[in-house]
Amino acid sequence: MRFASLGSGSEGNALVVESGGTRVLIDCGFGIRSAAARLARLGLEPSSLTAILVTHEHSDHVGGVPAFAARHDIPVWATFGTLAAVSARFEGMTGVYGFDGHDPFAIGALEITPVPVPHDAREPVQYVIGDGARRLGVLTDLGVSTEHVEASLSGCDALVLECNHDLAMLENGSYPYPLKQRIAGRLGHLHNEAAADILARIDTSRLTHVIAAHLSQENNTPELARAALAAALACTPDWIGIAEQATGFDWRQV
């Protein structure tokens, strides 16, 4: 199994995972040309994607999905709640499939386990993706962790983990108070220490990759995110990868 990011943050997200000839894109918050250019950087053609999995209806995740999927004839999977929230955007499209956020399913060689998360969307999920031998956990866009989230991520071989903000930077930053409250709230985004707490509570014995993702450009730095996660894992900060907004991250082999 290998995975890579096309970019991550409030300006757009997309992550590609592949194993055994199946290649899925999780979210596409980029326009058609940008997404194709970002895939090309990873050596991929859009038409080589087996499916697109959507996490939730926020524009930085679903914004580019309808046009990209229609242009390249790629099937789309999203929870029934997400589809209800974006039905207008997918109107007239074929190859759009709904699922319940609690039900695992398979796409080709990949086992897709949706993980419901607390976030201010209709039926948001994140994903654990397995190929029978290895499992990748992808967790962004949640306000707080839950027992179910941690049970799902426990024992994964690789994790992409939201480190949205540093709490002090958010509190002291320039965002208006209501926005600060939304981000820090139960249905907002995970801060560095909360992400580190997840690592401290789950089984990390199989972990070979940890990537900090969805970093706020305004309220976080890669150094702070790395330091928080490294402290939880007792590893050196440079072992923690960063999913950049502009460049994502390059292929990681699991």
Q: Tokens 């502009």 — which residue?
A: 246
Applying CB under 5 A, which part among 66-74, 136-144, 149-157, 168-176 lies near Zn ion? 136-144
- Quote the least distance from Cβ 109 to Zn ion, whole Å: 28
Shortest distance, CB of residue 204 to Zn ion, whole angstroms? 24
Show Cβ contacts of residue 179 under 8 Å, excluding neighbours closer than 6 positions. Answer: none
Which range in 32-40, 102-110, 141-149, 155-163 contacts Zn ion by CB under 5 A?
A: 141-149
Number of residues interacting with Zn ion: please give it, by CB under 5 A: 3
Of the two residues 55 and 204, which places its CB atom closer to Zn ion in the complex? 55
Closest approach, Cβ 112 to Zn ion, in A, equals 19
Residues 6 or more apart whose Cβ sits within 8 Å of residue 123: 56, 79, 80, 81, 82, 84, 85, 101, 116
23, 38, 58, 165: residue in contact with Zn ion (rule CB under 5 A)? 58
Residue 57 C-beta: closest distance to Zn ion, Å: 8
Count of Cβ atoms closer than 10 Å to residue 76 Cβ:
24
Q: Which is nearer to Zn ion, 131 or 141 (CB)?
A: 141
From its phi and psi, is residue 137 left (phi > 0), alpha (psi between -120 and 50) or beta?
A: beta
Asked if residue 60 binds Zn ion (CB under 5 A), the reply is yes
> Which pair of structure tokens corresponds to residue 72?
């390249």
8 Å CB contact between 114 and 159: no
Report how far residue 39's alpha carbon sits from residue 68's, in angstroms, rounded to the nearest whole number: 12
Q: Nearest-CB residue to Zn ion?
A: 58
Mark the segment that binds Zn ion (CB under 5 A) among 51-59, 160-168, 174-182, 220-228. Answer: 51-59
Q: Give the bridge partners for 75, in sequence order.
A: none
141 near Zn ion (CB under 5 A): yes
- The residue ranges that bind Zn ion (CB under 5 A) are 58, 60, 141
